Chains A and B, each alone.
Chain A
């Protein structure tokens, strides 16, 4: 399953927006039998911040604990820095 993050907007930058995106993904975008790997594609995303991704991932994790989340097209500096920051914090 690959989810296009740009469909939530070019600037993904607040907790409420991240939470809302996660809820929408759970309700409308993710298959009921989602298991294994979940890929988030950041192509065309202009700005990503930790609060958005943190909230989004929390919603996905609550929905499917243990799901392996992978990120692709992370060359944008804010996308890269955000992912690194969350990895650092989570350990």
Chain B
């Protein structure tokens, strides 16, 4: 019989002494799809990393148990799992991290080889194993291309297949008992996310306990068998999701996530009023670079233009051109990069200097504005400006802490705080502005973003997101980018189906 995974008293203390998770008990049953929810920094990733041995835990134990659902004490029939990633892997516990851990210059097969153990590597056998796993999961990805050239969704498929095949790659006979995924849908379109959950369901039915970290209550509603909610490192909710009474169940989860401050966070659509008239604030004609083939659009003053599309259809290139960091592109765009402030899609690569302080990250690129006599910086003015930016976007205000010490969501808030904190630019280019951010904080970021646009009459924004609800919330107008071209224009009340069709239709012809 396949065993459940039981974790007791899981505790991890951060370097600064506060507990990321404190005494969390959890159990995951084979065949079930569990969802772990919570605000940014609640300890969701930490819990799963501690269980799968990716980080060292400070207290707590993990065991394989026959008996179902969280027995309070361990029993003789349990098999303890030693700390460390090797032991976890040997017990069949694997995790797909939020920031995918693939070597970009290696192909999918070469990345899988990294998981193999033993002195000699049987390349052909590994390729066959990976291929079989991908086939079983219904994934189609090229195996001989460096993964750095693939889209984020494709890379994620490779990583999932690699995790599923990990016990076999390592040469153990154990089945995959636990597959944990940290915010796997953050970078996916709704259709891709649905597809992913169908695959995960299949994996669960094979006898694996599947655990997904997510912020999206919609995914809880549609897919969860069991919900675990963490708040500030403690477990506040641990129950099966009762689909018979969905609304009450979702409400319960939301309350648990947000605590007493639970507010009704309904999605409101913006009207499709066409900006403030006059000459357009942004005119782009025939922008081309890499996957972007013909970027032609205009944004009116006061307007927020949303760009929907499957990742890898030119969005990244569009951001780098507008922000002035791309080279070798063609086409024309006004205004130039000096008028643009940008939130880049990958916060670790382009957003943050991880081993610098929060203050330096909030002010990156603006330090020169604070040079006093003799070129010396005015420390008080720097701190004041950093605090102002942080407070506006709800970013961390511990200015001397390193950016790397924060959870993904809080890091994203630092990136947003910097972009929105600049007052000189008139164009905001925001790629996935709330990626990995919890519901309450996302709402705050949305509000701040719209406030920034409305602050002066000549401002406008371009928002790129995989989250169609986010686009509907922010945009006056939504265009679809598919195969490097603008292929459709919609009002914010367009349905998922309408947008989805436009996002995918061109791919077939392309």
Q: Do A and B come from one complex?
A: no
The interface of chain B, by Cβ under 8 A from chain A, is none
